[in-house]
Amino acid sequence: MSDPTKIRATLKDGVAEVRVLMAHEMESGQRRDAAGKLVPAWHITEVVAALNGKPALKALWGPGISKNPFLGFRIRGAKAGDTITISWVDNRGDKRSDEVKV
């Protein structure tokens, strides 16, 4: 299991600005190791953000995303005390889900 996802959410005028830093190696499958062998692909394929359990954002990613990816977005209609959940799945089937209160 990877390190916890770092999530920050600030609220202003009913809009939550969310910043997410995910801990993941994100190998493209094109890099070679010291012995010259290809390092197998290992990257996040899907990210879902939910506000109080209701999906607000879904992103499909591939091998072109950098190591420890950052994602920033806004959600309208958020209120103080609401819960924002960030979940991701990678191409090996590993999953992670973390949440923060607005």
User: So what's the pLDDT on residue 3?
Assistant: 84
d(CA 42, CA 25): 7
Spell out the domain ranges in the chain: 6-101
- Residue in 32, 34, 60, 49 with CA at minimum distance from that of residue 98: 49
- Whole-number Cα distances in Å, 65 to 8, 11, 19, 43, 89: 21, 28, 16, 8, 14
74 with 16: CB under 8 angstroms?
A: yes
User: So what's the pLDDT on residue 1?
Assistant: 55
Overall CATH class of domain 6-101: mainly beta
Read off the DSSP letter of residue 91.
T
Q: Is 86 in a helix, a strand, or coil?
A: strand
User: So what's the pLDDT on residue 81?
Assistant: 95
Tens of each residue's pLDDT in the chain, 102 residues: 568 899 999 999 999 999 999 999 999 999 999 999 999 999 999 999 999 999 999 999 999 999 999 999 999 999 999 999 999 999 999 999 999 999
Residue appearing with tokens 């609220």: 11
9 with 26: CB under 8 angstroms?
A: no
Q: Is 74 in a helix, a strand, or coil?
A: strand
